Chains A and B, each alone.
Chain A
Amino acid sequence: MSAEEVVARLRSGMTIGIGGWGSRRKPMALVRALLRTGVTDLTVVSYGGPDVGMLAAAGRIRTLVTAFGTLDSIPLEPHYRAARESGAFELVELDEAMLMWGLTAAVHRLPFLPIRSGLGSDVMRVNPRLRTVRSPYDDGEELVAVPALRLDAALVHLNRADRHGNAQYLGQDPYFDDLYCEAADHAYVSCERVVDTEELAKAGGPQTLLVKRLSVAGVVEAPNGAHFTACDPDHERDEAFQRHYATTPWSAFAERFLGGSELDYRSAVAAWHEEQL
């Protein structure tokens, strides 16, 4: 598939999960393609990085489910921060483990999973719809029932995939990409390189085959598709460009880099780097 074909299947009002973590292995080529459509009013579930920053800045998010918004080497995602401070979207702010539990519940078709996290904190105050359950065993402990985070669609970026949707991470952390895919009705994988199936096991041990084809609806070959986030070991984070993103007013950034196709984006980034020499 092409990135355009993926985003053509997305509709306004959908709940979309976005893989990666902060500014690491985010499916940015798919996010950029999404920004070229008119799809809006989204509920986005993400360990937030520039995916959230860009979608929020572009006004596409109605509700955000996250535990943070960061660029890692820049602690605060500036466009996420600006959108929060202007009240641009509804926030469901959870703790990191609660978000993992919500995805895990969805994967296993459970209505919720119990967790201790959140009790005593303002997670409960700012999320008045959260409910608690009491352990039916002797301990009788009261726990938070994290509701399943079922997704209409998931977008993830991995290092390699075959055309059937078997996808491989070659870095050190799978993040939660398999959970996003399995929690979604339709999951779309972009990857640095599409390879023949027999190449996958040659590139890494079987435990690197994170995402299975039965949970994937489409594969997109998107070299440098996580740019400017890190995609270890294929490419590091483009720190210089990330700093430019973080310090440039959104409208100016979008106009220069996001006005055209993915090829136009790559050319614009290359031209920007030339200017810095």
Chain B
Amino acid sequence: MIEQSPKLIHAFGALAELGQEVANKNNFQETIRTSLHLLSGALGIMRGGVARYSRYTRELNMLAIRGLGDEFPLSLTVCSEDERQFLASGLNAIDAHAARVLPFFQVYAASFERRNIELFVPLIIRDEIVGGLFLGEKATGEPYSSYEKEIICAMGRHIGVAISQRNLLAEIERRSDENRKLFEDLRRTYADTVKAFATAIDCKDKYTEGHSVRVGKYTELIAAELEWSPDQVEGAATAGYLHDVGKLTVERKIIKLRTALTRKNPPN
């Protein structure tokens, strides 16, 4: 352990920097790229990549790669059997050579061998696969020790959290967009309802036909010309369209009365 102290100190320094990088909420792509650098630099790893997992398409899509070349697939498919095994093993380093029983390592065996991919780490956060780490050989040429795998997993957890946070943010943005569209639909429905009311009011009396609709439109134009805010313009227009709304509850014969309405002169 004593002779490994400098290695540990160096790795812990990288781990601290990674924590800071993830917490800083910089540009997501840049965070992932820097994370890969920190991981490689912590243990002297020659090449590797960080991928984000899409549970809808069951694909690991590369977010950052180093030294993997142009031929390495940027999108890797994961089947249900792989997914089940990854979830069962948790966030642990999987030896790519020893895991050949899994379809994932069989399908991509040639690519992994060509670029010396030795370890794959499924990034699992809150029982969900959010991504994966692909790690090539160490510059020393030695195999990964158990404590190095632990450091990789600790760093992987940070990277996984960064991806998970990003996914969460994207989901919030999507829902907020959906809500905005629903709100717009509601506003349109409200405006249409107000206009329908105005038409109904105008139908009550042939003499003032179209009056409420005209008042609504003119009010809207005047309010806009006065440079009122959109909310104020909308409010004024609504008031214009509905200013005679009381007519709806008044009997038609009273509205059509040609003389003054008095107790002595009730409509027939």
Instruction: Answer whether A and B are interacting partners.
Output: no
Binding site for A on B (CB under 8 A): none
Binding site for B on A (CB under 8 A): none
